[in-house]
Structure 1
Amino acid sequence: MFGGGGGMDPRKLQQMMEQMGIDMEDIDAEEVIIRTPDEELVFTDAEVQLMAAQGQKTYQVVGEPESRPRDGESTAESEASETTEGDAGDDADESSDESGPVTISEGDIELVAMRAGVDEETARQALEDNGGDLADAVDQLE
């Protein structure tokens, strides 16, 4: 959090913070989402620090967020994603023998592309290869 510390030794800075009753710890966060009435700010691979002092906890998030609008579409995408995941469990045998095409939503493609850091065509192919399973598609691409 105190990168460089103005030339102060990081260990000395840590000792001073402990003397003042300030505890800091890094949090191994995979994703941070901040929701406002108009948008969602999604941080992937963000650095998150927790600072506890005088009974208060402060979280610091460092990273570059992706901005998503919060209109009816994002809720529909979430529901479609949940439905696809739920249905995948029921139809797992059918999709594994490739008896029919798997329906993949644009929201799922965007989610896999963002999460794996690839273009949408690559994300679509990974979803098709994995029968529409989001987690497996991301695992394949990472």
Structure 2
Amino acid sequence: MMGMNPRQMKKLMRQMGIKMEEMEGVKEVVIRLENKEIVLKDPAITIITAQGEKSYQIIPGSEEVRAIVNVSEEDIKLVMEQAGVDYEAARKALIEADGDLAEAILKLTEE
């Protein structure tokens, strides 16, 4: 297949029943693992359909790995009460503090 121009390649793929299309407007792709997330920013995604099966080829613009922090409802309520903030602010502060109650409360009360 060396030396084949793109037009010939597309024709051959069409004859083999393979369809390729670019996915537009994708901002990020998130891969969630048990204890972390891999975030692929501004990816180029190609959807390849062959024999009725779809495959996604993802080429990331940049990659970010985030640890997943699980916070309990009890911890969120405690931070809400102590810092005098709403649910989302308390949850966000706990996640940013890796679940550390004291750090989350201090951060919220210093603002």
TM-score (norm 2): 0.58
Distance across 1 between alignment mates of 2:68 and 2:37: 6
What residue number does 2:52 align with?
55
Closer/same/farther in 2, CA of residues 14 and 106 from structure 1, 3 Å limit: farther
Match of 1:40 among 37, 42, 50: 37
Q: Where does 1:1-142 land on structure 2 (aligned, <5 Å)?
A: 6-28=2-24, 29-63=26-60, 64-72=62-70, 83=88
Count of aligned pairs: 78
What whole-Å deviation, never above 9, does each CA across 1:98-136 have from its counterpart, x for those lacking one?
xxxxxx96979xxxxxxxxxxxxxxxxxxxxxxxxxxxx
Tell me: higher relative CO, structure 1 or 2? Use CA pairs within 8 A at least 6 residues apart. 2
Closer/same/farther in 2, CA of residues 45 and 7 from structure 1, 3 Å limit: farther
4+ runs deviating over 4 angstroms: 104-108
Structure 2: state its 5+ residue gaps: 77-86, 97-111
TM-score (norm 1): 0.47
Which is strand-richer, 1 or 2? 2
3-state SS of 1:72 partner: coil
| Percent of residue pairs bearing the same amino acid type | 33
Distance across 1 between alignment mates of 2:95 and 2:70: 13
Structure 1: state its 5+ residue gaps: 77-81, 85-103, 109-142
**CA RMSD, aligned part only?**
2.9
**Do 2:70 and 2:95's aligned partners in 1 also have CA atoms closer than 8 Å?**
no
